[in-house]
């Protein structure tokens, strides 16, 4: 196993979160590519763990907290850490120490750049981005929002804990229409897939449905709204977590369309 900084030959694999074999990932468009090229100028860092054959089997991406989706100062924030866990593609690499190696490499990198600490988010539930995994590596609770736990590890005594940024404005809707408002940051292909599916689904309803894109890759726009990603139908968020199937999104829009008449 070897940990490296992201190199151009691994761009496609990285943009697809190591799942370049997945047909579903092809639905995500080029949003992550565009997001990466914007945020690498703002301090975004990516490291990959390679297997013995040189394939990327793990990744971690982190950036200055001031450019992230949480509130903090002088820290770096881990957007996600991921080790390939499918039998498809290159196979299952979980349980081989790749995640730990990536985390340690990122922490050392952040220290070198003068960070006062590292923050990350995790879920209480025992699947992807488990909060308990970070706690095993010395992280402690900083804030909580439902199932999401914000954790952090201070590197210096003068470090201050981060906090979640909560929605700051109500998502509006247009009278006489069904309004689908799509917030998109670009960093997460799963959210990008939902965005593209919702955009395509709206096309099935003609002028009865208005599709509005909210570009949250602009950090000032994110700070105005306090929403990084999400699909809202007439002001109500419809999904959080794994990408909703296209058919379910269509049904949710159709339900609101039926209420117009």
pLDDT in tens, 174-205: 899 999 999 999 999 999 999 999 999 999 99
Every domain of the chain and the residues it spans: 2-162, 178-258
pLDDT in tens, 130-176: 899 999 999 999 999 988 999 999 999 999 999 999 999 999 998 99
Long-range contacts for 161-164 (Cβ within 8 Å, ≥24 apart)? Answer: 161/72, 162/65, 162/70, 162/71, 162/72, 162/75, 162/77, 162/119, 163/70, 163/71, 163/72, 164/70, 164/71
Contact 200, 192 (CB under 8 A): no
CATH superfamily of 2-162: Gcn5-related N-acetyltransferase (GNAT) (3.40.630.30)
Global model pTM greater than 0.85: yes
We find that the CATH architecture of domain 178-258 is 3-Layer(aba) Sandwich (3.40)
Q: Residues with Cβ < 8 Å from 56, sequence gap 6 or more?
A: 10, 13, 14, 18, 48, 49, 50
What letters, b where the CB count within 10 A reaches 16 and e where it falls short, cover 32-69?
beebbeebeeeebbbbbbbbeeebbbbbbbbbbbbebb
pLDDT in tens, 198-213: 999 999 999 999 999 9
How many CA atoms, within 13 angstroms, populate the side-chain half-sphere of residue 46? 24
The answer to whether 2-162 and 178-258 have equal CATH topology is no
pLDDT in tens, 40-95: 999 999 999 999 999 999 999 999 999 999 999 999 999 999 999 999 999 999 99
């Amino acid at each position: 196993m070897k940990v490296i900084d992201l190199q151009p030959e691994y761009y496609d694999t990285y943009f697809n979160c190591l799942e370049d074999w997945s047909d579903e990932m092809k639905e995500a468009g080029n949003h992550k590519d565009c997001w990466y090229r914007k945020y690498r100028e703002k301090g975004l860092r990516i490291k990959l763990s390679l297997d013995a054959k040189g394939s990327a089997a793990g990744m971690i991406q982190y950036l200055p907290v001031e450019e992230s989706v949480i509130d903090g100062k002088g820290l770096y924030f881990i957007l996600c850490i991921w080790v390939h866990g499918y039998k498809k593609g290159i196979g299952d690499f979980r349980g081989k120490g790749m995640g730990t190696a990536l985390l340690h490499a990122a922490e050392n990198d952040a220290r070198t750049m003068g960070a006062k600490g590292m923050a990350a988010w995790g879920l209480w539930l025992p699947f992807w981005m488990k909060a308990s995994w970070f706690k095993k590596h010395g992280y402690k609770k900083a804030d909580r929002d439902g199932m999401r736990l914000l954790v952090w590890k201070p590197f210096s005594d003068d470090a201050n804990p981060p906090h979640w940024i909560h929605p700051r404005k109500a998502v509006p809707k247009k009278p006489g229409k069904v309004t689908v408002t799509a917030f998109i940051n670009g960093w997460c292909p799963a959210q990008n897939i939902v965005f593209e599916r919702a955009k395509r689904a709206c096309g099935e309803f003609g002028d009865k449905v208005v599709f509005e894109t909210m570009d949250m890759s602009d950090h000032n726009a994110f700070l105005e709204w306090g929403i990084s990603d999400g699909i809202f139908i007439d002001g109500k968020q419809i999904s959080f977590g794994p990408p909703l199937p296209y058919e379910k999104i269509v049904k949710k829009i159709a339900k609101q369309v039926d209420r117009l008449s």
